[in-house]
Amino acid sequence: MTPIRVVIADDQPMARERLVALLAEQRDVDVVATCASGAEAVTAIEAYRPELVFLDMQMPELDGFGVISAIGPERMPPVVFVTAYDQFALRAFEVHALDYLLKPFGRQRFEQALERARQRLAREHAGELATRLMALVQDAQVRRPTAERLVVRSGARVVFVDVANIDWVEAEGNYVRLHVGNDSHLMRETMLAMEQRLGATQFIRIHRSRIVNAERVKELRLTPNGDYEAVLRNGTTLGVSRLYRDALQEKLKRP
């Protein structure tokens, strides 16, 4: 029987070591990576393609929700959450995860979670798991309607982009390109999802394939054919669709 490939992600060394020790006793489990941060977890999951992830909910910079968002709910392996949240809060998560471990947990509770994971892995279809994780990310977005930082995978690196530093965003097929000063980052995301993540306070759609940071707009320019162009402070000129022109003008009037 092929062992279940497992990745452990927890920023607490003792918690990681305990999980490693408990899993080492299981003949059908192979721990392929241990991670001390969410960013490390994203890299390990991409590299090792595990079948199960023990994922801490609360980690600095990139938490459990952020890891799932970075990987993509449709590509994220099944998850057993490891968390210090109380029992009442966790009831909301039970429908989305294989199981959870509430810190501090004992051997018996760990074995129950692992057995539940084994059973679910044997019968769940990938589509059902993706649906559950998508619902989880959507729940998280309700609690955190806009992001302050975006996580962008670039080869073997994970880049953190402060939303406030983004000048504009453009669509590139199934991706979006974030323009940040002299840099640009390609991120697998739809324009609609990116618009929701950025929020309407600072950013506005100016074209079906472009979103702009309103604070970076220096002026609106009328072209000879009657269209408008937005000129950014760094000199970049972006075409403005007539569908979005009035909304942009109204937003730029606000203090």
Q: What is the pLDDT of residues 173-192, one digit of tens each?
A: 888 999 999 999 998 888 88
Residues 12-62 have pLDDT tens digits of 999 999 999 999 999 999 999 999 999 999 999 999 999 999 999 888 878
Q: At 145, phi and psi to the nearest 5?
A: -60, -30
Whether residue 141 has pLDDT greater than 90 = no
pTM: 0.55
Whether residue 242 has pLDDT greater than 70 = yes
pLDDT of residue 201: 82
- Asked whether the beta carbons of 130 and 96 are under 8 A apart, the reply is no
pLDDT of residue 254: 64
pLDDT of residue 212: 96
Whether residue 124 has pLDDT greater than 80 = no
Mean pLDDT over each residue of the chain, to the nearest integer:
84
Angstrom distance (rounded) from CA 54 to CA 142: 24
pLDDT of residue 135: 67
Angstrom distance (rounded) from CA 119 to CA 24: 19
pLDDT of residue 171: 93
Q: Of 66-75, 83-92, 151-160, 234-243, which gets the smallest average pLDDT?
A: 83-92
> Which residue segments constitute the domains of the chain, with CATH numbers given?
4-143 (3.40.50.2300), 149-253 (2.40.50.1020)
Residue 90 — very low, low, confident or very high, per pLDDT cuts 50/70/90? low
Mean pLDDT of 134-145: 60
- For residue 145, what are the contacts with CB-CB under 8 A and spacing of at least 6? 196, 199
Closest CA to 56 of 47, 68, 46: 68
Residue 75 — very low, low, confident or very high, per pLDDT cuts 50/70/90? confident
pLDDT of residue 88: 43
pLDDT of residue 95: 46
Residue 127 — very low, low, confident or very high, per pLDDT cuts 50/70/90? low
pLDDT of residue 116: 87
